[in-house]
Structure formats: C-alpha cells, structure tokens
Structure 1
C-alpha cells in the first residue's frame, strides 16, 4: 500500500488544459488537492531558514535602537553640541575658575589636534579605503548576481523537465484513456452479444418445447 512518502504531490499544468476552460472542473480539482494536502504532512520552510540576524543586529546596541526609534518617529537628528568646547571667561581674581578654563582650553586644543590628525589620515587614506570598500561591494554584488543567475537557470531547467515529464505522462494518460474507452466499448459489445445470445437460446429452447409438444 502506498504511503505519503512514496510519491510527491504535483499537478499537471502543462497537460490539464481543460482546467482553464471548465470552472466547475477546476473547483473540483482544487477541492481534491486541498483534501490531499489536509491529509499530508506540512513542512514549515521558514523554520529552516534560521533566525533573522537583522533583528538581533538592530537590538544589539542601545544607541542604535534609540536611533531606529527616532527615525521611525520621523524626529530630526540632534545638531552637534559645541557648547562644551566654548571657553567662558573666568573672573579675574578666581584662581579655580582660571584653572578650570585652562583645563578646558587644553582639552579643546587636544581635541582639535586629534580631529586635524584624523582629517589628515582621512585625506591620505580615505580615498583608497573607499575604493577598496567599493571593490569589495562590487565583488559581493557580482557573486550574488551569479548565484541569482544559477538559481534562475535551475528554475528554468526544472520547469523544462516538468514540462517534458508531464508531456510524456499526458501522452501515456491519453493512451490509457483511449485503451480504457476501447475496453468499455468492447465490454458493451460483448454484453449486447451475450444478451442477444441469451435471447436466441431462449427462443431455441421455446422452439424445442413446441416441437416436443407437437410430436407427442
């Protein structure tokens, strides 16, 4: 006895053209397929794809999560706050305020020097780093395009194979249908001949009885 694992459920769209013209037949076929699927084991293909890494990436950083929430609400990005680098003029006789102002000036100067060094490095190396990044992205894009082309070619090959197999199956079904029709016709002819023979035998039996009666 065949089990669910012995065959793969598939339609014959390349052969069953009558389904496109007969709505009742198409609905009946759809009901049969639905009943078959209801009795078959279903597979959740989405569970085989693994976890969505984008969700974990977006929630891995509090700052990134806050920025995503801000962008989702349509709020503008806060402008750069330069007030912490401003040097307030201290009181003339307040030594503590002068020391604080001096320390702030040193910090601002170090920041400007570091910023200037970073800009110099960006000017010297940024173009090459940008080109290298673009080259890597181009290589990734070409690789994805090749994979997409390979998958599309496989899809085309599968559809061609399905069409070829379904055409052969359709021809076989057509041959079997004609053979079945011939057998039904032969059976009807045989049944008619049998009935005619039975009638003839009944007539002969009746004729025999009449002859026997006339001889007595």
Structure 2
C-alpha cells in the first residue's frame, strides 16, 4: 500500500500492524512481497527518516572489498612469483641451446625481481620482529576509533528505525480505524443495494403475476 501526503512523505507500507489477513491466508504474503518489491524499485530509500548508510566513504579499497563480498565474487589469487619464475625458466630447462636472447633477458629480469622480492620479505620480517608489537598497538587506536564510530552509527540507525516503527504504529492505527469505518459503511451500502435488488425482483414477480391475472380475467370475459 502506497501512502502519500503523510507529512509530505511518500512511503510504501503493507500495514502489518493493522492488516492481519496475511496470517490467515497464506498466499497473500507472496502477493504482498511482490507488490512491495515492485514499489521499492521506484523509491530512493526505505524511508526518508532513516538515511542510507555510507560505508567507507574515504577508503576505496574497503569499499571495493565490500562490493566484492556483496556480489559473492571470489577473492583474486595473489601473484605467485615462484610459479611465474618457473614458467619463464621452463624453455631453458627443456631446450637451453635454442633459447633466444629475449628469453634469457626475461629470465634474468624475473630472477632479479624474485630476488628483490625475497629481500623485501626478509626486510619486512626483520622490521616486524623489531617494531611489530608497537606498530600493531599503534594501528589499534584508529581501528578502535572506527569501531566506536560504527557503534555510534549503529545506535543512531537503531534509534531512527525505532522512531519510524513507532510512527508506523501510530499512523497505521489511525488509518486502520478509518478503514474499519469505511469497511462498515461499505458493508452497509452493499446490504442496502442487495435489499433494493431483492425488492426489485419481488416487484417484478408481483408485476408478472398481476399481468397474468389481468390476462386471465380478460379472457374469461
């Protein structure tokens, strides 16, 4: 059910606090879900009272990783320098005499890259052993601030969501009373229409009987 004009807000709601027919009629739940899904495609958000979450606005790497997880894409495998070096050395192992100068240059360059990679790994291990504990301790402070900010944002969203639900309860209760009044009025009008139709049928039968009686009287004369 789309409700417009409520505090100048256009929202999409299924009146769950008033309409309980979905609990009594199972197939209605599927129809309501389909209707809500079609309505959500035309809305910018679920509710204007709850702003959309803007995750990692300053960190493109984390945002890309979150997008990858949401789309269920596998993490790309890391570059294996040992495998790359082995692939470049394969022509030299099979036929070293037929290798060209270009092949030798690629192998030498790959060997230099591999050795530099190993040197950097050893250097990083040495740095971690020397300064690792202090570095991790220092990195924990911004992570702790990020966690505290995330908790504050979560509390704010929970508060806004609770506020929206309270407004929904109040709004749907008020609208439910109006719907109940309109339904009772509709039932009364339908009942009156049926009474009028039954009276018309009864009058038509009575008219037919009178016509037959008149016809019989005329023939007797």
Q: TM-score, normalised by structure 1?
A: 0.49
Q: TM-score, normalised by structure 2?
A: 0.48
Specify the structure having the higher radius of gyration (Cα). Answer: 1
Q: Which has the higher contact order (CA 8 A, sep 6+)?
A: 1
- Greater strand share, structure number: 2
